[in-house]
């Protein structure tokens, strides 16, 4: 059998250097064919050198280790290296995927090396669905609008949607009311409604959308009008008849 | 509704008492005194209520000034009709008697109305006071929660473990640098742990912490990170809630520069704008995507600015040009109590 080969990938150059030195002690026959600081470089090096093993950091700029592994799937044995990714580590444990925790404990590295040696003859395992699941979990994005871009005088200001208690339509504009301020945005209320998470933002009137957790209480006044009182704000919002049923039995 | 009934009963009782008073001083017989008194009292009552639209008289004191004279006149008319008295004849026959009835009604009506008005105002003041107290309690509770969450979110595990990995590497390669990194990490950890307990700290202390953090990060990220901290000496003693700027710098690194493949910069600057201390954290990172979920750190900083400044402070987030984010914190500039001592402790 030809000598084992490996590619080391970490966005912190000091850490690939460290791993290289530690591997040299524990597995002298292992030939490190390359070091990469990011995903795209890792893929290029993997293609040109066809390493048997890839030690892959998970958190990297541009392309995460999970994405790199997805592309490499089946061509080599992947060992994930992570400082702290609880979900990933649990999933790796469950699926018997190799991983190392940073800082790497030499004793753990020694047992990982022993396991890798035994895997040389086996086919690399299929990890596609596992990686897709993890990647979706680690993406801090939401399908809903999270930030409003507001023109404020000469400046463009970013306002977190989670700070807005009420959106109210006013002529051509929409007012976004936070505890501190009243912002004017150009997006019509109807278009905003489609972008906002309906679990958190409720339409209560033809011209207002309220953030559910900003509601302090819902009352009915002398004329039978249902009115929402907001937390931390003196403002109260009328609920139209169409939407009043939302608050029955509350 | 209960309020209405109580007021009505009190009014009826009062009217009866007034009627007995008039009988006692010998102006009327009991029957006409009762009819007059109730007619006038109830007219005022109904009129005042109608004018207020059934609500507590927030700023509607004027309704009484209108209700008392008109209600009195209406009451006299109604009573006269009920008792079959011809008013015009009575006025010419007993002008003194009518004047007494009118004057008495006005006096008693005004007295009673004033009582109700004052009571409503007192209730309103009490409600307002309770709401304010409740708001204060809620603010304090939020502050405590924010501090707790901050403590939990503070020491980011990726940062801690990657830093330790770097130190382990540097011990072999460059012991002096390893030592320096550990000193910075100690500064960072001590400040993080100590100051979540302490009250106000100074801008100088906060910037020390930020510097320690950025030095560690620039070892980790190498050429990908450069930074600058620009704050005039005379501002370093100004008070600042603990860990207000550091999370913003950490956001700039964690969400802006760490995930960016090319090199970037963080610039921290402090200046005085009138009586406001303005601190700005500007990065050239990836910037904010409109669907990116804001972290706990940002909401936390905003909540604490709100809690300590009572609305006088602000946190403004803007896109930076051509890329990245610029976050600006403004707070009232006040001197910190013991900045010198704490600075020595940190050194």
Segments forming the whole domain that contains residue B79: 2-136
Which residues of chain A lie closer than 8 angstroms to B306, CB-CB? 179-180
Residues B316, A157: C-beta atoms closer than 8 Å: yes
Residues B306, A180: C-beta atoms closer than 8 Å: yes
- Tell me if B78 sits within 8 A of B71, measured CB to CB: no
Residues A158, B306: C-beta atoms closer than 8 Å: no
What is the total count of domains within chain B?
2
DSSP secondary structure letter of residue B292: B
With tokens 């009008």, the residue in question is A225
* pLDDT of res. B62: 67
Residues A146, B293: C-beta atoms closer than 8 Å: yes
B321 has a chain A CB within 8 A of its CB:
no
Please determine, for residue A57, whether its predicted confidence score (pLDDT) is greater than 90.
yes
Q: How wide is the angle at C-alpha A186 spanned by C-alphas A209 and A154, nearest 5°?
A: 125
B24 has a chain A CB within 8 A of its CB:
no
DSSP secondary structure letter of residue B291: T
* pLDDT of res. B152: 57
Residues B173-177: contacts with CB within 8 Å, 24+ apart? B173/A14, B173/A17, B177/B219
- Order across the sheet with A77-82: list the strands: A31-36, A5-9, A53-57, A77-82, A99-101
Angstrom CA distances, A187 to A149, A211, B45, B294, stand at: 10, 17, 50, 21
Residue from the list A15, A103, A146 with its beta carbon closest to the beta carbon of B294: A146
* pLDDT of res. B19: 85
Average pLDDT over residues A140-144: 76
- Give the DSSP letter string of B180-212: HHHHHHHHHHHHHHHHTTSS-EEHHHHHHHHHH
Q: Which of B108, B136, B164 finishes a domain?
A: B136
Q: Is residue B176 part of a domain?
A: yes
B289 has a chain A CB within 8 A of its CB:
yes
Q: Which of B136, B166, B184 finishes a domain?
A: B136
Nearest C-alpha neighbor of B334 from the set B265, B248, B253, B275: B275
The model's pTM is: 0.71
Parallel, antiparallel, or unpaired: how do β-strands B239-240 and A226-230 relate? unpaired
Please determine, for residue A39, whether its predicted confidence score (pLDDT) is greater than 90.
yes
Residues in B 221-240 with any Cβ partner in A closer than 8 A? 221-222, 224
Residues B293, A140: C-beta atoms closer than 8 Å: yes
What percent of chain A stands above pLDDT 70?
98
* pLDDT of res. A128: 86
Predicted confidence pLDDT, tens digits, chain B (347 residues): 557 788 888 888 888 888 888 888 877 788 888 888 888 888 888 888 887 765 544 445 567 777 888 888 888 888 888 888 777 777 777 777 777 777 877 787 778 778 877 887 888 888 888 888 887 777 777 777 766 666 655 678 889 999 999 999 999 999 999 999 999 999 988 887 765 555 678 899 899 999 999 999 999 998 899 999 999 999 999 999 888 899 999 999 988 999 888 899 999 999 999 999 999 999 999 999 888 888 777 888 888 888 887 778 899 999 998 899 999 999 999 888 654 555 555 54
Q: Is residue B142 part of a domain?
A: no
Please determine, for residue A50, whether its predicted confidence score (pLDDT) is greater than 80.
yes
A194 has a chain B CB within 8 A of its CB:
no
B16 has a chain A CB within 8 A of its CB:
no
Q: How many angstroms separate the CA atoms of A4 and A1, rounded? A: 8
Number of residues assigned to chain B = 347
Q: Which of B136, B166, B201 finishes a domain?
A: B136
With tokens 């560690």, the residue in question is B216
Domains, chain A, in order of start with CATH, read: 5-138 (3.40.50.2300), 147-247 (2.40.50.1020)
What percent of chain A stands above pLDDT 90?
60
Which residues of chain A lie closer than 8 angstroms to B219, CB-CB? 14
Nearest C-alpha neighbor of B8 from the set B43, B42, B54: B42
Residues A160, B299: C-beta atoms closer than 8 Å: yes
- The CATH number assigned to the domain holding B229 equals 3.30.565.10
With tokens 């997805």, the residue in question is A70
Q: Which of B165, B255, B327 to mutate to test the interface with A (most CBs of A within 10 A)?
A: B165
Question: B297 and B160: one domain?
Answer: yes
Q: Is residue B145 part of a domain?
A: no
* pLDDT of res. B58: 45
A83 has a chain B CB within 8 A of its CB:
yes
Q: Is residue B272 part of a domain?
A: yes
Please determine, for residue A245, whether its predicted confidence score (pLDDT) is greater than 90.
no
A154-202: pLDDT as tens digits = 889 999 999 999 999 988 899 999 988 899 999 999 999 999 999 999 9
Question: B49 and B179: one domain?
Answer: no
Average pLDDT over residues A5-32: 95
Query: Pick the residue with more confidence: A237 or A246?
Result: A237
The pLDDT confidence band at residue A153, using thresholds 50, 70 and 90, is confident
Average pLDDT over residues A8-22: 94
Question: B175 and B60: one domain?
Answer: no
Question: B200 and B324: one domain?
Answer: yes
Q: How many angstroms separate the CA atoms of B26 and B69, rounded? A: 24
Nearest-CA distance A139 → chain B (Å): 9
Which residues of chain B lie closer than 8 angstroms to A104, CB-CB? 165
Q: Is residue B141 part of a domain?
A: no
Q: Is residue B203 part of a domain?
A: yes
Q: How many angstroms separate the CA atoms of A157 and B316, rounded? A: 7
Question: B27 and B173: one domain?
Answer: no
Q: How many angstroms separate the CA atoms of B277 and B269, rounded? A: 11
Q: Which of B54, B162, B185 to mutate to test the interface with A (most CBs of A within 10 A)?
A: B162
Which residues of chain B lie closer than 8 angstroms to A155, CB-CB? 318
User: What is the tally of helices (H) and strands (E) in chain B?
Assistant: 11, 7
* pLDDT of res. A235: 84
SS3 A250: coil
Question: B119 and B203: one domain?
Answer: no
Q: How many angstroms separate the CA atoms of A94 and A115, rounded? A: 16
* pLDDT of res. B57: 47
Question: B188 and B132: one domain?
Answer: no
* pLDDT of res. B316: 93
Residue from the list B168, B290, B306 with its beta carbon closest to the beta carbon of A146: B290
Residues A103, B168: C-beta atoms closer than 8 Å: yes
Which residues of chain B lie closer than 8 angstroms to A141, CB-CB? 289, 291-293
Which residues of chain A lie closer than 8 angstroms to B290, CB-CB? 145-149
* pLDDT of res. B261: 85
What residues contact A12, with CB distance under 8 A and at least 6 apart?
Answer: A57, B162, B165, B166, B220, B221, B222
Question: B181 and B92: one domain?
Answer: no
ipTM of the complex: 0.83
* pLDDT of res. A125: 83
* pLDDT of res. B259: 87
Task: State in Å, rounded, how far the first CA of chain B is from the last one.
Answer: 67
* pLDDT of res. B284: 97
Question: B123 and B164: one domain?
Answer: no
Q: Is the bond into A103 cis (omega within 30 degrees of 0)? A: yes
């Amino acid at each position: 059998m030809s000598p084992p080969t490996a590619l080391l990938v970490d966005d912190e150059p000091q850490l690939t250097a460290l791993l290289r030195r530690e591997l040299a002690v524990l597995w002298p026959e292992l030939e490190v064919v390359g070091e990469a600081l990011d995903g795209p470089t890792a893929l290029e090096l993997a293609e040109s050198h066809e390493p048997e093993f890839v030690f892959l950091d998970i958190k990297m700029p541009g392309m995460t280790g999970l994405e790199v592994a997805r592309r490499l799937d089946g061509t080599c044995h992947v060992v994930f290296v992570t400082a702290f990714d609880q979900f990933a580590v649990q999933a790796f444990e469950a699926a018997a995927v190799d991983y190392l925790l940073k800082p790497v404990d030499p004793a753990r590295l020694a047992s990982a090396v022993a396991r890798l040696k035994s895997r040389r003859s086996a086919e690399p395992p299929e990890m596609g669905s596992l990686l897709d699941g993890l990647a979706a979990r680690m993406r801090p994005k939401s399908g809903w609008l999270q930030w409003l871009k507001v023109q404020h005088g000469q400046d463009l200001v970013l306002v977190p949607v989670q700070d807005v208690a009420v959106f109210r339509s006013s002529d051509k504009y929409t007012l976004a009311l936070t505890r501190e301020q009243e912002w004017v945005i150009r997006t019509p209320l109807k278009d905003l409604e489609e972008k906002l998470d309906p679990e958190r933002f409720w339409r209560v009137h033809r011209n207002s959308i309220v953030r559910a957790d900003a509601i302090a209480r819902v009352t009915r006044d002398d004329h039978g009008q249902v009115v929402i009182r907001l937390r931390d704000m003196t403002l109260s919002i009328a609920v139209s008849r169409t939407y009043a049923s939302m608050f029955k039995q509350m | 509704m209960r309020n209405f009934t109580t007021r009505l009963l009190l009014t009826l009782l009062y009217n009866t008492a007034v009627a007995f008073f008039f009988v006692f001083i010998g102006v009327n017989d009991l029957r006409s005194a009762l009819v007059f008194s109730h007619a006038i009292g109830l007219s005022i009552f109904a009129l005042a209520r109608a004018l207020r639209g059934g609500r507590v008289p927030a700023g509607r004191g004027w309704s009484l000034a209108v209700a008392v004279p008109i209600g009195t006149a209406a009451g006299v008319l109604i009573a006269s009709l009920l008792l079959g008295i011809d008013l015009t004849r009575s006025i010419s026959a007993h002008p003194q008697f009518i004047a007494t009835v009118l004057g008495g009604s006005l006096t008693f009506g005004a007295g009673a109305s004033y009582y109700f008005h004052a009571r409503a105002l007192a209730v309103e003041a009490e409600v307002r006071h309770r709401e304010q107290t409740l708001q204060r309690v809620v603010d304090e509770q939020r502050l405590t929660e924010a501090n707790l969450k901050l403590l939990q979110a503070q020491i980011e595990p990726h940062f801690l473990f990657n830093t330790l990995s770097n130190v382990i590497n540097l011990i072999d390669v460059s012991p002096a640098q390893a030592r320096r990194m550990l000193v910075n990490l100690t500064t960072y950890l001590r400040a993080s742990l100590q100051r979540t307990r302490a009250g106000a700290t100074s801008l100088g202390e906060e910037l020390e912490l930020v510097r320690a953090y950025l030095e560690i990060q620039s070892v980790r990220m190498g050429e990908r990170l450069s930074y600058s901290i620009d704050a005039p000496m005379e501002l370093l003693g100004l008070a600042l809630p603990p860990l207000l700027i550091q999370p913003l710098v950490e956001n700039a690194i964690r969400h802006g520069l760490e995930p960016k493949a090319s090199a970037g910069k963080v610039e921290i600057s402090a200046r005085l704008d009138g009586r406001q201390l303005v601190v700005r954290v500007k990065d050239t990172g990836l910037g904010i995507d409109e669907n990116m979920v804001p972290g706990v750190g940002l909401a936390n900083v905003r909540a604490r600015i709100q809690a300590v400044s009572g609305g006088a402070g602000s946190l403004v987030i803007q896109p930076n040009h051509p890329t990245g984010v610029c976050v600006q914190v403004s707070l009232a500039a006040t001197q910190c109590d013991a900045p010198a001592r704490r600075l020595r402790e940190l050194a």
